[in-house]
């Protein structure tokens, strides 16, 4: 690290994958005061929340093991960014001065208000608190009670598989199609595993209404459901819009290709909550961590008076777990289009587990030695396919 005379105050909002690695990477300079604002006192491995729901994994990690020395953790909730006074206002009533903000608030589960009963009766698995409620709700059910999972994407598949492996009776309402981000052969492999493990998969239909003990499908069929889990779709916190910053249709902060807000060059986005040029990457841990590194590099470039690099992030693959003993890895091109290469079964499970393990390990390595971890960035950046979205 090099020595400098003036301290720069950087507030990172959000302590998930993108925010935590961004905070660590900023320590490439020793003249920065880094504050990480997060609503929880511990890091949460969101990519393992389906395991937590099933009762076989604790997803919380002590920040002391993955945050670099000198980073201040403030357990609070950011309510507004005052861009005129350069302050981040907190729910506690306190405010943090900043020279730069890294906006890494992440994503949330989105239970649609347009589906009657969904907000009242459906559970969500996207965040720790909602996963805790879901886990408690499952514990109250008889072993033979029917559980319905709404959403045929990766989160829905992983949740259904985890519960099915435990002997739960699971119905997966997949919507238009099961696993739209996978190629046809890989999708057939997933469908076969689900069928062999007792999961009833309903394709070509969705849920029109959620009732306390049933779901009404869009084709008017009524299916028994002692508990309904909603995994179809994600949203983002409304902090950017509440701060008067321009956002896309989902509420993600609009940025240029250096991840800098189109309204304020002292605010830089990282992870799920950013929308570079209105063409956001697929919400994923795979994208969030390199985006966190790039957001930190953008801030460091501005401090140094150099031009920040433009975004070149793409994708490498899709990983999905099928319980604890099977999984699948689908290789993709940089624009997230499925390729012909894929792995399933126990080999796929090992690949998934290794990636999950290495993700947290890599954040810790970045904390100890900023800039030494090489995060995969396949670029150049290209627009995602419609299926990938």
User: Is the model more confident about 380 or about 68?
Assistant: 68
Average pLDDT estimate for 342-349: 96
- How is residue 120 written in tokens? 């009242």
The fraction of the chain above a pLDDT of 90, given in percent, is: 88
The ranges assigned to domains in the chain are: 8-107+236-312, 118-232
Quote the longest CA-to-CA distance of the chain: 69
Q: What is the pLDDT of residues 95-133, one digit of tens each?
A: 999 999 999 999 998 888 899 999 999 999 999 999 999
Burial of 94 (0-12, 13-18, 19+ CB in 10 A): exposed
pTM: 0.93
Confidence band (pLDDT; 50, 70, 90) for 381? low
* String of DSSP letters for 171-221: EEEEETSS-TTS-HHHHHHHHHHHHHTT-EEEESB-EEEEETTEEEETTS-
d(C-alpha 377, C-alpha 177), whole Å: 29
Q: Residues near 121 by Cβ (< 8 Å), separated by ≥ 6?
A: 210, 211, 212, 228
- H or E segment and range at residue 366: helix 345-368
Confidence band (pLDDT; 50, 70, 90) for 233? confident
CATH superfamily of 118-232: FAD/NAD(P)-binding domain (3.50.50.60)
d(C-alpha 180, C-alpha 189), whole Å: 13
Q: What is the pLDDT of residues 58-87, one digit of tens each?
A: 999 999 999 999 999 999 999 999 999 999
CATH topology of domain 8-107+236-312: FAD/NAD(P)-binding domain (3.50.50)
CA end-to-end span of the chain:
40
8-107+236-312 matches 118-232 in fold: yes
Q: What is the pLDDT of residues 282-304, one digit of tens each?
A: 899 999 999 999 999 999 999 99
| Helix pair 345-368, 285-304: axis angle to 10 deg | 20
What is the chain's mean pLDDT, rounded? 93
| Whether residue 365 has a cis bond before it, omega within 30° of 0 | no
Q: In this structure, how many other beta carbons lie within 10 angstroms of the beta carbon of residue 318?
A: 23
């Amino acid at each position: 690290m090099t020595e400098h005379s003036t301290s720069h105050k950087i507030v990172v909002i959000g302590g998930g994958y993108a925010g935590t690695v961004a905070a660590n990477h900023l320590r490439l300079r020793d003249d920065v005061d880094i504050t990480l604002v997060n609503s929880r006192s511990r890091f949460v491995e969101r990519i393992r929340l389906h395991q937590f729901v099933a009762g076989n994994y604790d997803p919380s990690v002590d920040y002391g093991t993955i945050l670099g020395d000198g980073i201040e953790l403030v357990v609070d909730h950011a309510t507004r960014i005052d861009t005129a006074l350069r302050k981040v206002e907190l729910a506690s009533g306190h405010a943090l001065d900043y020279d730069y903000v890294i906006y890494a608030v992440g994503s949330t589960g989105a239970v649609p208000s347009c589906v009657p009963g969904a907000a009242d009766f459906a559970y969500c698995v996207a965040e720790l608190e909602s996963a805790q409620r879901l886990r408690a709700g499952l514990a109250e059910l008889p072993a033979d009670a029917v559980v319905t999972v709404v959403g045929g994407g990766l989160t829905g598949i992983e949740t259904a598989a985890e519960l099915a492996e435990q002997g739960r009776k699971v119905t997966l309402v997949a919507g238009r199609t099961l696993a739209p981000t996978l190629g046809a052969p890989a999708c057939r492999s997933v469908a076969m595993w689900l069928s062999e493990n007792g999961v009833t998969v309903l394709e070509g239909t969705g849920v029109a209404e959620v009732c306390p003990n049933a779901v009404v499908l869009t084709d008017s069929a009524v299916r028994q459901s002692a508990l309904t889990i909603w995994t179809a779709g994600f949203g983002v916190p409304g902090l950017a819009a509440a701060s008067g910053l321009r956002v896309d249709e989902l509420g993600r902060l609009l940025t240029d290709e250096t991840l800098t807000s189109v309204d304020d060059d002292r605010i830089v986005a990282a992870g799920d909550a950013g929308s570079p040029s209105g063409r956001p990457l697929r919400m994923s841990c795979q994208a969030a961590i390199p985006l966190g590194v790039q957001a930190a590099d953008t801030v460091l470039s501005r401090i140094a008076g150099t031009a920040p690099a433009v975004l070149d992030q793409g994708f490498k693959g899709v990983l999905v777990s099928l319980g604890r003993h099977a999984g699948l890895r689908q290789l993709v091109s940089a624009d997230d289009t499925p390729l012909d290469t894929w792995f399933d079964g126990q080999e796929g499970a090992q690949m998934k587990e290794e990636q999950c393990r290495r993700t947290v390990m890599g954040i810790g390595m970045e904390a100890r030695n900023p800039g030494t971890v090489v995060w995969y960035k396949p670029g150049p950046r290209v627009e995602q396919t419609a299926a990938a979205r």
